[in-house]
Amino acid sequence: MRILLLNGPNLNLLGRRAPEVYGSDTLEDVAEQCHAHAGRLGHRLEEFQSNHEGELIDAIHAARETADGIVFNPGAYSHTSYALHDAIEAVGIPTVEIHISNVREREPWRRISVTEPACVYQIFGRGVAGYLDAISHLHYRKVHPPVTLPYGPHPDQVADLRLADGPGPHPVAVLVHGGGWTDPYTRDLMDGAAVDLAARGTATWNVEYRRIPPVGGWRDSMADVSAAVGALSSISGDHGLDLDRVTVIGHSAGAQLGFFAAKNASVRPAGFVALAGMLDLGNAGSGFDEIISAFLGDGGHARLPVVDPIRALPSGVPTVAVHGLMDRSVAPDQSRRFVEAALAAGDRSRLVEVPEADHMDVISPLAAGWEEVARACLGI
């Protein structure tokens, strides 16, 4: 794949411009990281930056001959430029919009992107790492394009369906991404797992859900993931999905959501897999206080009995907790305590510790230890 890395106005000042918002990497640093990441995935990358709307439009037009995907940070033009929207739409090259900062938490005018509707995906608020995630997203879309289906009226109530090859009905892996229930982290985090599991014969249903808006999102997020699992019953016939072989797989904070969906959804899954799961919120450590309080809203800790997986056992479904022992983000102890408590409560449960994996490795087919994770996800 040939990828165009396109940056708009003022991004030439990266590293010097408001480093507290945009970080200290220069545009050259970003380009270097993007080249390396694209290279790792087997793609070529070219870059272009301009402060001029017309030049950006010309670059998008020229990309018809030279690129199969665009990673585009339109800068402030994303809030105003219908001409850039039209250019992206006109050439029809899959374009991922990226913003380094969390545009939803800044001035209200930054929340609006007029270019986003022409793009296949938008990533924001992840710092310059968002550029690499955008490249990964283009890569996994190319390997196995998803079909995005709504399961409710809200724009975040959608999920990506990827069918497996060969005659069905196929088992289904429901994927629930993590990211501390916060806005910037979305389902592209699970793209790699979704594509890999589909290639192993399991259809994947990679779920988006409403996240903290800005505090107390637990009710909406939990309701959405359960609804997304329940929605499988209305699409299973058309897509050859075997509802008796559904596994809910959640990563990090997504494991908290996945656990309750596995326990409560109208479609009863055959199993639940937590990957580096937040399974013991009450003992997550002080580093998580702020994020858990934001998720639970006022008086949140009183809600733990209904939102903390370890306090809501038994789940009534077989569970597997997979944890990388190099995880510096969510302590492997959370998985150990969960499995112990699940067994004590009468659930079938097992622990899979992956010595060489860190927090993000357990969702990356490119990482060491993935084979073990994939086998756990498939119930092997």
The residues that are catalytic are: 22, 99
Binders of ligand DQA in range 102-121 (CB under 6 A): 103, 110
Query: Judged by CB under 6 A, which of 62, 76, 147, 215 binds ligand DQA?
Result: 76
Stretch that binds ligand DQA, among 71-79, 181-189, 244-252, 308-316 (CB under 6 A): 71-79
Which of 199, 193, 179 has its CA nearest to residue 361?
193
Dihedral sign, Cα of residue 76, residue 79, residue 81, residue 85: positive
Q: How far is the CB of 192 from ligand DQA (least distance, A)?
A: 24
Q: How far is the CB of 329 from ligand DQA (least distance, A)?
A: 24
Q: How far is the CB of 289 from ligand DQA (least distance, A)?
A: 27
CA distance 82 to 137: 24
Stretch that binds ligand DQA, among 72-80, 236-244, 250-258, 347-355 (CB under 6 A): 72-80
Considering the complex, state which of residue 80 and residue 329 has its C-beta at the smaller distance from ligand DQA.
Answer: 80
Q: Any idea which residue has 């702020």 for tokens?
A: 290
* 15 class by beta-carbon count within 10 Å (0-12 exposed, 13-18 middle, 19+ buried): middle
Considering the complex, state which of residue 103 and residue 373 has its C-beta at the smaller distance from ligand DQA.
Answer: 103
- The pair of three-digit structure tokens given for residue 50, joined into one six-digit string: 């301009």
Considering the complex, state which of residue 118 and residue 203 has its C-beta at the smaller distance from ligand DQA.
Answer: 118
Q: How far is the CB of 75 from ligand DQA (least distance, A)?
A: 3
Number of chain residues interacting with ligand DQA (CB under 6 A): 9
Considering the complex, state which of residue 108 and residue 153 has its C-beta at the smaller distance from ligand DQA.
Answer: 108
Stretch that binds ligand DQA, among 94-102, 144-152, 304-312, 327-335 (CB under 6 A): 94-102
Q: Please give the full DSSP string across 100-146, using - where no structure is assigned.
A: SS-GGGS-GGGG--SSGGGSSEEEESSTTHHHHHHHHHHHHHHHS--
Considering the complex, state which of residue 12 and residue 329 has its C-beta at the smaller distance from ligand DQA.
Answer: 12
CA distance 283 to 312: 14
Kindly state the DSSP code that residue 284 receives in the 8-state scheme. Answer: S
Query: Judged by CB under 6 A, which of 101, 136, 247, 319 binds ligand DQA?
Result: 101
Considering the complex, state which of residue 62 and residue 76 has its C-beta at the smaller distance from ligand DQA.
Answer: 76
19 CB contacts (<8 Å, ≥6 apart)? Answer: none
Binders of ligand DQA in range 325-364 (CB under 6 A): none
Number of H helices, E strands in the chain: 13, 13
Query: Judged by CB under 6 A, which of 10, 26, 264, 329 binds ligand DQA?
Result: 10
Kindly state the DSSP code that residue 361 receives in the 8-state scheme. Answer: G
Q: How far is the CB of 105 from ligand DQA (least distance, A)?
A: 11
Q: How far is the CB of 97 from ligand DQA (least distance, A)?
A: 9
CA distance 262 to 229: 8
Considering the complex, state which of residue 112 and residue 147 has its C-beta at the smaller distance from ligand DQA.
Answer: 112
The secondary structure of 148-190, three-state, reads EEECCCCCCCEEEEECCCCCCCEEEEEEECCCCCCCCCCHHHH
Q: How far is the CB of 120 from ligand DQA (least distance, A)?
A: 18
> Rounded to the nearest 5°, which phi and psi values hold at 123?
-125, 135
Q: How many other CB atoms sit within 10 Å of the CB of residue 251?
A: 27
Tell me how far CA of residue 201 lies from CA of 164, 165, 192, 255, 374, in angstroms: 5, 6, 15, 23, 12
Query: Judged by CB under 6 A, which of 49, 50, 73, 122 binds ligand DQA?
Result: 73
Stretch that binds ligand DQA, among 63-71, 97-105, 262-270, 307-315 (CB under 6 A): 97-105
Positions that interact with ligand DQA (CB under 6 A): 10, 73, 75-76, 99-101, 103, 110
